[in-house]
Amino acid sequence: MEKLISRKEAAKILGISIATLDAARTSGLISYVQYVQNGCVYFTDAGLQEYIAKCTHRAKPMEKSTTFRNPRSARG
């Protein structure tokens, strides 16, 4: 059986607040273990890794032109 991680430890591992962790749990972004209704909530290492994978976004390449205007042509 995997080691169960408390809410406080899970928030520290993920680098987020307990309130953010609870919001992710209630919205279904992170899986959790709760043996008794209204009891303590625990997380597994695999559940934390899944959450990290879901919330990781790839960086987009930087655009060359920041405006829609065409560059001025050189006169002379």
| 70 is a domain residue | no
Residue 12 has pLDDT above 80, yes or no: yes
Structure confidence at residue 58 (pLDDT): 82
> What's the CATH code of the domain at 23?
1.10.1660.10
What pLDDT sits at residue 67?
67
Residue 18 structural domain: 5-55
Exposure string over 41-50, b if 16+ CB within 10 A, otherwise e: bbbbeebbee
In the chain, the number of structural domains is 1
In one-letter notation, the amino acid at residue 68 is: F
Residue-wise burial string across 17-26, b where 16 or more C-beta atoms lie within 10 A, e elsewhere: eeeebeebbe
pLDDT at residue 76 in the model? 54
Query: What is the rounded CA–CA span in Å between residue 49 and residue 6?
Result: 15
Q: What is the pLDDT of residues 21-68, one digit of tens each?
A: 999 999 999 999 999 999 999 999 999 999 999 988 888 877 776 667
